[in-house]
Amino acid sequence: MPGGRCCGVHLLNVPASFFAAIGIQKAGCVFTGISILLTAEELEYQLNDSGAKILLTFDFNFETVKKAVVKTKVKTVVVVSIANFLPYIKKTLGTLLKKIPTGEVHSLPNIEVVRFLKAIEGRPKGLGQRQGETG
C-alpha cells in the first residue's frame, strides 16, 4: 500500500491494535483508531471521512462492520478474535462455557475478508476469504 493511505483499526486495547499501529506507520500509511462502540452509520461516516482502504476489526463486531463498509472505499477487512489474546486455559474455559463473544464472518461484495487466526505454535496465520467462498 503506497504511503499516505489510511488504515482503520476497529479494535480494543489488545496487542493486535498496537502491532497494527506500528505496522501501519512503518508502511508509511496513516493510522486511524475507531471505537468499537460506534453504530454502523457512525462507522461508515468515519471510514468515509478518513478514506480508509483497510479495516481491522473483531469477529464479534462483524455485523456492524458489514453494514458500514459496503458504502465506503474499504477494500480489505482483517478480522481477529478476542479469544486469540487470552491465555490457553482461559481461552479453553471461556470457549467451553460460552463466555467469549464471537460472531460469524462472511464474505462481502467486492471486499476481501481476511480472518487472522492465532496458531497454536509458531506465527499467526491470515486466511484470505473472497466473494463466494465459505470458511
Q: What percent of the chain has pLDDT over 70?
A: 78
Annotated domain spans of the chain? 6-129
The closest of 71, 75, 93, 72 to 83, measured between CA atoms, is: 93
Q: How far apart are CA 50 and CA 5, in angstroms?
A: 9
Q: In whole numbers, what is the pLDDT of the chain averaged over residues?
A: 79
Task: Name 10's Cβ contacts closer than 8 Å, sequence gap at least 6.
Answer: 34, 35, 36, 43, 55, 56, 57, 58, 61, 65
Tens-digit pLDDT profile for residues 97-107: 988 877 777 77
* pLDDT attached to residue 10: 92
CA gap 129, 10 in Å, rounded:
19
pLDDT tens-digit map of 31-85: 888 988 899 999 999 999 888 999 999 888 888 999 999 899 999 888 888 888 8
Question: CATH 3.40.50.970: does it fit domain 6-129?
Answer: no
Cut 0.85: pTM above it = no
In the prediction, which pLDDT does 114 show?
58
Contacts (Cβ under 8 Å, ≥6 apart) of 82: 12, 14, 58, 59, 60, 100, 101
